[in-house]
Structure 1
Amino acid sequence: MATFALIHGGGGTSWTWRPLETCLRGRGHRTVAVDLPLDDPDAGLIDHADHVVADVLKNVGHLDGLVVVGHSWGGFVAPVVCHRTRAELLVLLAGMVPTPGEAPADWWEATGFGMVDIDDPIAQFMHDVPADLAAEALRHGRDHAEKALVEPWPLDRWPDVPTRYLLCRDDRWFPPEFVRPMVRERLGVEPDEIGGSHSVMLSRPEELADRLIGYL
């Protein structure tokens, strides 16, 4: 049995992971989905990571055997969590891949990210999510305080933990043609692929659970 620490992206909440948690728990695994302190103006990246660690300790009682999953902006937090725990695996799900000293706000230009001009957030992030579920996801959205966006990523190197990257082939926010070279350059690995939008945990939770368990 593994413990999956699930870290949402910018503007998100732990609610995003509920369908995936149901699938993982149904297969006999533990999950800890964390609400990052996004709207706390005093919380930096280390504070976000410590929040995850505290939640895991509160719910599980130890830090052994963790599978840390970071989605989107959560890619800036997940490696810091691995550095502060005894994680066995790090999975970036359509995640941002930071480099030492890089602030999240600088990542976009540094990676050559080209903004996709889609006004409708559902069409951009959740085009394959059932309409009622997508509407509920928007209601759970949150603002993001500035500190964790502008302070440098605190690690001086990538954590010494096996790392997998899972891109979403139908992602309109981080399209595959952008993600593949970014991951090769920054992680030195070939990304794995799954069908679905940027919100694949809502649109294909069963398939995503199978992929995550397959990494164990």
Structure 2
Amino acid sequence: MTDFSLNVEVREVHGRRPSRRLRREDRVPAVIYGGGEAAQSITLSQREISRLILDQSVFSHVISLAFPDATTQQVIIRDLQMHPFKLLVQHMDFQRAKAGQKVTVHVPLNYIGEEGCVGVKTQGGQLHHILVEVEVLAPSDRLPDHIDVDVSNLEKGESIHLSDLKLPEGVSILALAHGDDKAVVQVLAPRGAATEESEAAGEA
């Protein structure tokens, strides 16, 4: 698992004008909340966070925030506000993630076996990705980097659903808890082929 960290400073002043001043100084205002503790206002380097979020996996990982007094807090990103037309972060929300505590994060799906997919390679179907990520509930110290979806044996007309995914121990998919077992990927017949099949069925 990748280790992510950021250097932060405590923010003593609040409001729009101080926040604008911070942004002019290439600092990003942010807040930390949760974990049974009071919310805490902080700032961080625009350059540092811009570089960090280039790695999309940071949004499903615990981040270590390092304070000037040598203390640290473990958090996950809960919200990130971008400038309307510049590649600049305007504000961030972090949620504390204490060891063993369960948190919800969006985890990317990693599709494997696409080149050898039976429904595509031998049956002329087209692979259709319905989801690229899923929201999971998992212990903060065991967040998965990704969830593998093996499509190598998927045949034309078949789908893989959320309930078919193999999850690490202690990880659950929130949609399933609400009875929503949606498909994540399927092999479809090519559009032209689907039309010809339906016409042939009508003639029969």
TM-score category (smaller protein): under 0.3
Higher fraction of strand = 2
Q: State the structure with bigger RCO (CA 8 A, min sep 6), 1 or 2.
A: 1
Q: TM-score if structure 1 supplies the norm length?
A: 0.23
